[in-house]
Structure 1
Amino acid sequence: MVIIKTQFHLINSDVTDPDQIITGEALQRRCDYFLADSLDHLRVNPNMHSEIDKKGITPNTLPIELTTKTSTAPVFIYCKSDRVPSKEVFLRIAKEFYLVLHNSDGNVIWSKYAYLVEIPNLLRVFAQNCTIDHPKFEPIPIGIANSMWPHGNLKVLLAAIKRIKNGEIPKRSTVYYNCKIHNACAPRIQCDAVMTKKGIKNQPAVPYPQYLETLASYKYAICPEGGGIDTHRLWECLYLGVTPIVLRNYMTEYFNKHLDNRLILLDKWEDLDLSTL
């Protein structure tokens, strides 16, 4: 069984194998079961339908392997972060298990997910957008976008990484900034206001291959929060050898520790000092 725990040492511009790149669907595939109140809640990604047919379960179809302690080895159960079943469902699972929460924008917060620590057979919760500092919770990356999206094309990403290794994309600029704010996302609106005051241009959106080449040519990149506190850009930066600049929170501090301090953490965007970069 492949452990979900993030292999942070592989997140760099030396990667050549798409199977080593972190994505939500890759983490999902490593799990033994996909659990949801309805399998329709899991079918948002058409590229995962065959996996869902094999591993998808609901509270009404929990397999006997879960409801009876038939073996000692723990299993991994995936749930969409915004579709986590009730405490009563998990209490019916008789064997030890790990829970993987991913592929949703919202943050994993204590007020909504505290009940999970009360489930005795649940060993650990690996969660995207994790804000909970508790021994039973561990942050995992949002990673690169899933393959259903244009910005989830791993062949394009690996091609950019190869060009970097070949010296074809030199570092020509200092701070990259591109931020969509049309959806009235408060964290991005606040970030954009500060970047405007600092004279940092909001770069236009371009096709994914051009975007990666442009991003890779910078030394640093602003990574504002969006629907959740983690962002695809943070991980794109790390794979492209760019230093992400992020706001400090429990998750970014956790990642920075395990990434050997490869992030720049700011308490607020106003603290960004271009003269120190």
Structure 2
Amino acid sequence: MKNNILKILLLLCLVTFMSCLENNKTIENNKVEKSIEKVITAKQKPHNYGGWYCPDNLNGFPAVNIRNWKNVNVVNGRLPSKEETQNGTSLIFVDQKKHPNAKPLDMKMPKLGRYYNENSKKEELIIVIQAVKIAEDSVVGFRYLNGGNGSARLNEVRFLLDAEIESLSPTRFVMQSVQIDAPQNKIWEVLTNPQYYEVLEVIFDKDHTPIPSWNDSSKVNFRYLNGGVITSEFAANLYGNHYIQIDSELGDSQYVAKFLLLDNEQSKSTELKIVCGPYSNDDFETQKDILNSWALKVKELSEKK
């Protein structure tokens, strides 16, 4: 019975993190990809018009620093073309042959808002890049500031007032990409196997600050000392690409660490994509140097295996 429960939980996690990965594929309104966990826990029935929860879609929708949120690509005043839903400009493609009365909502994009993410267990800042009326549904497509995309009903999003936006701290994300001459499974072992924690710990924790049983429960051999309490963790092989996401909160501050492995067919190597933050301006350069040193150590250990 215990094994069956574990298998069911793993299946729920895999469905929840349905991946977009290397390409931001067209999200057709007739393709309904629902997270089983989200359907169970959501306060209202999910809409049926696409816009998967893809926090790992770091190529299609990279992380955005808060000061640059107004500069993201959007489509205003009309429904997006299929191409625009594939190139990072928009998200949900609506087939007007099936929905001839579909139309964009009367609001100018992008808009900054907050949305409670059932997966990360946090109310996250999002950039709404699309709002559409289909039949009786009003649906928005958005990108997370820390990368990736999602969608929701309009009434699930709270748009920020100008005063709230002006009060936001000008935080930034560390975004790195490292080419490693090793297959994904070897890099994954370095990232997740506790035997590598001590050799990597000294890079981000020179004082060896003790956290009882931290490594026993962590899914990755990396931590941010000021990250706070972990709200959710995910680590799995999603359709051939390994992905880790650790979400945490400290008071009103939120933190996320994302690690994505992608095969580079041209170089026959593996790309390690990293998004961590957001960090304050005072802390940004320090954390950038730490992450760079950590990533190079991961590369060294992986290529030696």
TM-score (norm: length of structure 1): 0.29
More helix by share: 1
TM-score, length-scaled by structure 2: 0.27
